[in-house]
Amino acid sequence: MTLAATAAMGLWFAQAPVSNADLNTTSPVLADRNGTWLNVRTVENGRWRIKTDLDVVDPAFVEALIEIEDKRFYSHSGVDGAAILRALKTWKQSGVASSGASTLTMQLVRQYKPRPRTFKSKAIESFEALRFELHYTKQEILEQYLTRVSYGGNIEGIDAASRIYFGKSPRFLAPDEIALLIALPQAPEARRPDRNAQAAKIGRRRILKRLASAELITANEYINADTVSIPSKKEKLPQRAWLTARKLAATGSVTRSALDPHLQTNIENQLAATVEKLPHPVNASAIVVHAKTREVRAHAAIGRRDHDGGWLDMTAAVRSPGSTLKPFVYGLGMDDGIIGPDTRLRDAPSRFGSYRPENFDRRYYGDVTVAQALQHSLNIPAVGVLDHVGGRRLDAALRASGASPSQSGPNENGSDAGLALALGGTGLRATDLAMLYTAIANDGLAGPLKWTLADEMPQPTFELLQADTAKALRRVMADAPRPAGVMPMHLGRDVPDVAYKTGTSYGFRDSWAAAVSGDYVIIVWIGRPDGGPRPGVTGRAAAAPLLFKIADGLAVGDQVVRVNRPQQTQDRLKSAEEFAPVILFPMDDIEIAVSVFGAASEGIDLVVQTEASDVRLYVGSDPIHKTRDGFRFKPSAPGFYELTAIDKKGQKTKGRFRVVSSQDVSHPGF
């Protein structure tokens, strides 16, 4: 029984897993596409603990560490018997424990679970060290030790210590740096260079002498290293791209993102400068995607620190996209063959079932082309096209492309909710818009974004638009009027086109600008993180100027990418005063129920939009005179009537409506 029990204990001892969850908790690190670190985050209790990779640690340091701390590290099994006997002999002779016997493996065990410095603790650490040696290779043990060892304060591990005290990685270390990095863990707080420079220098000198005695450094190297000043200030670890780091670098390893450091710096500076000029509760965010590879080259969101929500990731927030979806409405219409860029649409007050949209500025422009309607973001033509395409189809196309609209789709009983999609009647993230506009840049093919270099090249998953349609949309959006203060495109030489669209959500809550510029797609959002309104602030006024500043800093490869088209004066959209008057009410072919006819009637208000100072109205051949309450017509009997509006230039508009008696209407509302 005793033999069996002993065998069982031995088997458990050999196979029982070592609990090292805490050992594996290391600082997440985000690197750019070139491998340069952009961001490092702390672990529990605000500690800097960067995972050590022996392949990037100076071999001279490893050799010196083994010489000083554990000469037989590669030959013992976690416990150095010879060192223990030597320590016991020294203690017996002097009565003082002046010679240590802890191996690096035993020190690692103590880092994992500190214990009082007693013989009992030493025995426990010895057994635990044996178990560590059974489960890990020597390299793994050394890497764990160099990850966890304390260097004073909240600094753990050689990588963090080297970067904070010397401002560099531990790949190449001078003799003075090697000696200090070995001396510090022996008395981490007493020898902290930033607090006790003299103690740190004395500790370093002791290590340098031992290294010289072991002939690991020369006499001249010892003298030179001893004269080097002790670093008195800590270097800061990089804290850029914090938003992307929080999104991608969740584990303690180095995550190599697709971010371009120059583009990242550009948008961070542009966002910071923009937010600094805005009222307190306003954030700004931007994403830059390399269209061909779908790599996210820049990604940032910045807000003021002195208001709630200032550090929220607004690129992942679900917000109304406003008019940024209109290119896809017209694009689906082009795919169906019902419209082209030069197709003329009627921009006038219209009703679609119970849905009666209005233009943003509540002005109407009569007959306009599809290109003009998109460039000037007119609402009525967009809703009219979507009425033919189908709101349900647009919603399905967005989802198939990888976007996640927050609403579930059009109502089962009608198209109202679906038609509102043309004007931003859903919720999307900035990352969703980046995917959708990348499809426009890639001739209509939609696919997922690529955030890290380790990700496989994302393959297009859906043909959102036909190639010719995507090219036509880019040409139309590139000809859109530029925001105030931005140089017109045709005046610039060797600069890429910026095919862009702005958007403003209902209540001025979100300001958007989205663009294809050369090789890149840019998405910009500005607004309050709490969803509060910003009266009068539009995407064109707030987001578009920032987008063009970002576009100015983009590199487009070996040559500038321009859309081939003849140089011509931009097609200007005429204002309402250059068109005939628009009859707002009563709309053409509408029926109006009245209860009393003749002089006693309350009358029907006649509403006409025109920029002319003088307009005349006729019902049939009878003039309607304007009163202080406006134009009002009192029908004498039920029947059909024709309304004519004539401005001072002689331009006229006619409409036909029918008047019925409310007694003849069975609608429950009457």
Which is it for the CA torsion 533, 538, 542, 546, positive or negative?
Answer: positive
Domain that holds residue 512: 322-536
- Residue at a domain's end among 478, 508, 536: 536
- Residue at a domain's end among 516, 536, 556: 536
Is residue 560 a contact partner of residue 601, using CB atoms and an 8 Å limit?
A: no
519 found inside a domain: yes
Is residue 171 predicted with pLDDT exceeding 60? yes
Is residue 244 a contact partner of residue 299, using CB atoms and an 8 Å limit?
A: yes
- Supply the CATH number for residue 24's domain: 1.10.3810.10
553 found inside a domain: no
Upstream peptide bond of 59 is cis (omega within 30 degrees of 0): no
* Strand partners for 367: 346
222 found inside a domain: yes
Q: In this structure, what DSSP letter does residue 319 have?
A: B
Q: In this structure, what DSSP letter does residue 159 have?
A: H
- Supply the CATH number for residue 526's domain: 3.40.710.10
Q: In this structure, what DSSP letter does residue 352 have?
A: B
Residues 525 and 597 in one domain: no
380-411 per-position pLDDT tens digit:
999 999 999 999 999 999 999 999 998 644 34
Residues 159 and 105 in one domain: yes
For residue 630, what pLDDT is reported? 84
Q: Which residues contact 349 (CB under 8 A, 6 or more apart)?
A: 356, 358, 364, 380, 582, 583, 584, 585, 587
296 found inside a domain: no
Name the 3-class secondary structure at 515: strand
- Active-site choice (323, 377, 401, 505): 323
Q: Is the pTM of this model over 0.85?
A: no
Average the pLDDT over each of 112-116, 172-176, 566-570, 654-658 and give the range with the smallest value: 566-570
Continuous H helices in 508-630: 539-552
Residue 112's identity, in one-letter code, is: Y
Is residue 265 predicted with pLDDT exceeding 60? yes
Count of domains forming the chain: 3
- Active-site choice (27, 67, 69, 102): 69
Active site residue 162: no
For residue 450, what pLDDT is reported? 94
Residues 62 and 177 in one domain: yes
Residues 217 and 339 in one domain: no
Q: Rounded CA gap, 503 and 481, in Å? A: 14
* 3-state helix/strand/coil string of 27-89: CCEEECCCCCEEEECCCHHHCEECCCCHHHCCHHHHHHHHHHHCCCCCCCCCCCHHHHHHHHH
Is residue 15 predicted with pLDDT exceeding 70? no
Q: First-to-last CA distance in the chain?
A: 99
Is residue 374 a contact partner of residue 477, using CB atoms and an 8 Å limit?
A: yes
Residue 667's identity, in one-letter code, is: H
What DSSP string runs through 256-282? EB---HHHHHHHHHHHHHHHHTS-TT-
* 3-state helix/strand/coil string of 633-652: ECCCCCEEEEEEEEECCCCE
**Tokens at residue 164, please?**
């904070």
310 found inside a domain: no
Question: Mean of the pLDDT values across residues 600-618?
Answer: 82
Residues 367 and 451 in one domain: yes
Q: Rounded CA gap, 29 and 42, in Å? A: 10
pLDDT interval class at 25 (50, 70, 90): confident
Which residue in 404, 466, 474, 412 sits closest to 435, CA to CA? 404
For residue 665, what pLDDT is reported? 53
359 vs 573: which has the higher pLDDT: 359
Residues 500 and 601 in one domain: no
Q: Rounded CA gap, 574 and 582, in Å? A: 14
- Highest mean pLDDT: which of 41-45, 169-173, 403-407? 169-173
- Supply the CATH number for residue 645's domain: 2.60.40.60
Place of tokens 């020898």: 191
Half-sphere exposure of 464 (CA within 13 A, CB side): 36
- Residue 457 φ/ψ region, left for φ over 0, alpha for ψ in the -120 to 50 degree band, beta for the rest: beta
For residue 380, what pLDDT is reported? 94
**Tokens at residue 43, please?**
């672990």
Active site residue 133: no
545 found inside a domain: no
* Strand partners for 503: 512
Residues 527 and 594 in one domain: no
Residues 431 and 497 in one domain: yes
Which residue in 30, 14, 251, 286 sits closest to 130, CA to CA? 14
Is residue 369 predicted with pLDDT exceeding 60? yes
64 vs 489: which has the higher pLDDT: 64
CA dihedral 414, 418, 423, 429 (to 10 degrees): 150
- Residue at a domain's end among 536, 564, 589: 536
Q: Rounded CA gap, 328 and 398, in Å? A: 9
Residues 362 and 494 in one domain: yes
User: CA Rg, the chain, in Å?
Assistant: 37
> Do the strands 639-647 and 615-619 form a parallel or antiparallel pair, or are they unpaired?
antiparallel
* Strand partners for 604: 633
**Tokens at residue 657, please?**
């409506």
Average the pLDDT over each of 39-43, 84-88, 478-482, 614-618 and give the range with the smallest value: 84-88
Is residue 631 a contact partner of residue 617, using CB atoms and an 8 Å limit?
A: yes
Q: Where are the beta strands (DSSP E) in 361-508?
A: 366-369, 445-446, 462-463, 498-504
Mean pLDDT of the chain: 84
Average the pLDDT over each of 161-170, 225-234, 648-657 and give the range with the smallest value: 648-657
Which residue in 608, 622, 613 sits closest to 652, CA to CA? 608
543 found inside a domain: no
**Apex 29 CA angle, 27 and 30, nearest 5:** 160
Place of tokens 């096209």: 385
Q: By CB neighbour count within 10 A (0-12 exposed, 13-18 middle, 19+ buried), where does 557 fall?
A: exposed
Q: Rounded CA gap, 245 and 242, in Å? A: 5
For residue 12, what pLDDT is reported? 46
Residues 339 and 205 in one domain: no
Residues 64 and 141 in one domain: yes
- In our burial notation (b when 16+ CB lie closer than 10 A, e otherwise), range 602-630 reads ebbebebbbeeeebbbbbeeeebeeeeee
Q: Where are the beta strands (DSSP E) in 311-372?
A: 344-347, 366-369
Name the 3-class secondary structure at 655: strand
CA-to-CA dists, residue 315 to 434, 526, 667, angstroms: 10, 10, 48
426 found inside a domain: yes
pLDDT interval class at 85 (50, 70, 90): low
Which residue in 426, 464, 431 sits closest to 448, CA to CA? 431
Question: Mean of the pLDDT values across residues 489-513?
Answer: 81
Residues 41 and 169 in one domain: yes
- Residue 547 φ/ψ region, left for φ over 0, alpha for ψ in the -120 to 50 degree band, beta for the rest: alpha
For residue 187, what pLDDT is reported? 94
